[in-house]
Structure 1
Amino acid sequence: MSSVKVDGFKSSEVLAALAAVFEGYSDEERKQQIKKTNGIFELRVKNAGGQEGIWTIDLKNTGSVYLGEAKPKPNVTILLSDETFQDLAAGKVDGQKAFMTGKLKTKGNMMFATKLDGVLKAAKAKAKL
């Protein structure tokens, strides 16, 4: 699913891989992931050039990743740099540590934001991100 890739954002590669994992899920796996997570993440990622990219990980309705603002309203909006998202996806840093050091900010349900680590880990295991 190349429609989530955006030039100048390394994060978009990770998100494209995540989208591919979701697309590869059987209906049962998708239902399990939606039931487990039950929410929507909106990621606002700033790249080195100061541009902002917006992606949505919908694990409430569709079990998909798409480019653009969340529709319906997200449970949490996560603001971070391209580099910080890469580190999160690679498992080099966890979300709580990134939040505590100011590398990651949230709007909305902060406790729900902690589920993103689990989503990335599950997808990483499946896709070898």
Structure 2
Amino acid sequence: MSDIKEPGFKSSELFAELAAVLEGYTPEEKQKELKKTNGIFEMQIKSSSGEEKIWTIDLKKEGKVIKGKGPKPDVTIIAGDQLFVDLADGKTSGQKAFMTGKLKTKGNMMMATKLDSLLKTAKARAKL
């Protein structure tokens, strides 16, 4: 998972956690998650220093997280590093961040709403 992590990006820890959770799924659990989510998320995250990195969460075909661009995304989510960490920790809501312009999306906005439950599931499983 070290290839997922990026120095200077707190959110890369979350992507590494999610990748580990997905890798730990049984084939049946992975199929269930793919069927439930059926989407590809491209996450464009900007660090506090202004550097931007991309992670792709493929929950359509492969059920994995990669650093960089992956298959064509259903939705692209653009956020600051700390904001993304706060979203994952439940300190702020995606809806509030979107309405205040701190979070931007391109593509299927309804797909973006599935990310919240995905992050919560990953955090819960990572603590097991």
The two structures share one fold, judged by TM-score above 0.5: yes
Whole-angstrom distance in 1 between the partners of 2:82 and 2:89? 11
Cα displacement (A) at 1:128? 2.7
The aligned counterpart of 1:2 is 2
Q: Which whole-Å CA distance do the structure 2 matches of 1:108 and 1:128 have between them? A: 32
Give yes or no for the alignment of 1:118 onto 2:117: yes
Aligned residues: 128
5+ unaligned residues in a row in structure 2: which ranges?
none
Aligned AA (1:102): G
CA pair 59-107 structure 1, distance change in 2 beyond 3 A: same
1:2 deviation in Å?
1.2
Q: Secondary structure at the match of 2:34?
A: helix
Distance 1:55 1:108 in 2: 16
Match of 1:12 in 2: 12
Which whole-Å CA distance do the structure 2 matches of 1:96 and 1:64 have between them?
25
Opposite residue 94 of structure 2, the aligned amino acid is G
Task: Give the ranges of 4+ consecutive aligned residues of structure 1 lying more than 2 Å apart after TM superposition.
Answer: none
Q: What percentage of aligned pairs have identical amino acids?
A: 64
**What SS does the corresponding residue of 2:3 show, helix, strand or coil?**
helix
- Alignment RMSD: 1.1
How far apart are residue 90 of structure 1 and its match? Answer: 0.6
How far off is 1:70 after superposition?
2.5
Q: Counterpart in 2 of 1:80?
A: 79
Alignment of 1:22-33 (within 5 A): 22-33=22-33
After superposition, where does 1:55-66 map in structure 2 within 5 Å?
A: 55-66=55-66
Instruction: Kindly provide the amino acid, as one letter, of the partner of residue 66 in structure 2.
Output: Y
- Which runs of no fewer than 5 residues in structure 1 stay unpaired? none
Q: Deviations over 1:6-37 (max 9, x none)?
A: 11101001110110000000101100100000
SS at match of 1:96: helix
The separation in 2 between residues aligned to 1:8 and 1:19, in whole angstroms, is: 19
